[in-house]
Amino acid sequence: MAKLIKEADIIEIKKTGSNKPSKRIITFSRNVFIPLTNACRNRCHYCGFRSDNPSLMEPNEVENLLLIAKNASEALFTFGEKPETDSKIRNSLLEMGYKSFLDYVIEMNKRAIELGKLPHTNAGILSYSELKKLKPWNASMGLMLEQAVELPCHNESPGKKPMERIKVITNAGKLEIPFTTGILVGIGERFDDDLYSIEVIKDLHLNYDHIQECIIQNFSPKKGTPMEDFPPPSIGRMIKIVREARKILPRDVEVQIPPNLVEDIRPFLKEGVGDIGGISDVTIDHINPEAPWPSIEKIERCLNGEFVLRERLPVYPKYIKRGWYGSMTEALIKKLSDNEGYRKGCRKPL
Ligand code: SF4
């Protein structure tokens, strides 16, 4: 009797182009982390990134980072939300000759493209027209949903109102922007809230087909913050959420975990994680500076021959084929991608 082909087998056949199931592919991207400013209008109780005395990176500092990141294909622009609400940042922008923070971000995106890196911008809450203005200069963009429920740790963070964030992710869908989102686990929510938040992400994707990956990120306490003594979620809880996320989300939304925030990625891969996000060999994770990136060699040792590691660009193959990336990134995407939509020159699965 013929063997029934399971859904998971079909995904593997699609991914490898072979007619028999093979090892699952785990993807990652090589990035350079560019924290443009630590100014932020929000005050999340777990945040160790924002500052009351913020600074703004000078264009030449940004260029230097882009130049030293020789292996990276992705320029990850991350910063606090609505930084121009801080007068020090407004003055710095004026001194540098920019009319708005958005103009400054676009200029930094342009420089990244000129230096061979594809921008992926995490800009916090933006309006439809602001997203539209940024889109041409970005291969993809992102905004963590974090949680679709209101929590005490966000009492001083207007930008963390779930509806505000859902609106941005919806507008990104309307604009056909390949999008990264996810949840932050262990910030005072219940297990059911985690599942509900993942359901919300699923619905957004079913409506607009634009979510390329859903990050399941564990809260990690930071010294000097109101939540410094708050216990981080256990590995058991994280594994359970990843397992449920894989069941809830459509198969074309990859489940991602940050490999620098868990001791061992293997149990997560076994539960369906298919992507480990951006890794840098020149910059730290500025949001979790205490957690260094593992080397590619260490990750390959963890995979133990059971999975195949493959490098992607900040935009997933599906959206490259569809042409949903920003128009100004097209030439670079064509230069950097192979005919399957992964990074050109990266190892193929065995
Ligand atoms: S976590 Fe993000 S949004 Fe919240 S205060 Fe920090 S920088 Fe701002």
Name the residue among 126, 87, 84, 81 with its Cα closest to residue 101. Answer: 84
Nearest CA to ligand 1 atom 1: 47
Pick the more confident residue, 196 or 293.
196
State in Å: Cα 314 to ligand 1 middle. 22
Atom of ligand 1 nearest to the CA of 38: 7
14 SS3 class: helix
Q: Is 138 in the pocket of ligand 1 (CB under 6 A)?
A: no
Say yes or no: CB of residue 157 within 6 Å of ligand 1.
Answer: yes
The preferred substitution site among 89, 143, 157, 220 for testing ligand 1, maximizing ligand atoms within 8 Å of CB, is 157
pLDDT(31) > 90: yes
pLDDT at 63 over 60: yes
Instruction: Identify the residue whose C-alpha is closest to ligand 1 atom 2.
Output: 80
What is the dihedral angle through the alpha carbons of 44, 48, 50, 55, rounded to the nearest 10 degrees?
A: 180
Q: Is the CB of 40 under 6 A from ligand 1?
A: yes
With 80 as the cut, is the pLDDT of residue 84 above it? Answer: yes
Chain CA centroid to CA 94, Å: 30
CB 41 within 8 A of CB 82: yes
CA 328 / ligand 1 centre spacing (Å): 29
- Both tokens assigned to 339: 């005919």
Q: What confidence tens digit (pLDDT) does each residue in 47-61 have?
A: 999 999 999 999 999
Q: How many CB atoms are located within 10 Å of the residue 217 CB?
A: 22
pLDDT of residue 346: 73
CB 173 within 8 A of CB 203: no
- Which of 2-16, 120-134, 287-301 has the lowest average pLDDT? 2-16
* Whether residue 39 has its Cβ less than 6 Å from ligand 1: no
Look at the domain 23-336 and name its fold.
Answer: TIM Barrel (3.20.20)
Contact partners, residue 151, CB within 8 Å, separation at least 6? 187, 188, 189
Residue 254 forms beta bridges with which residues?
213
Cβ neighbours around 327 below 10 Å, total: 10
pTM listed for this prediction: 0.92
| Ligand 1 contact via 122 beta carbon (within 6 Å) | no
pLDDT tens-digit profile of 10-26? 344 344 444 555 789 99
Whether the CB of 50 sits within 6 Å of ligand 1: yes
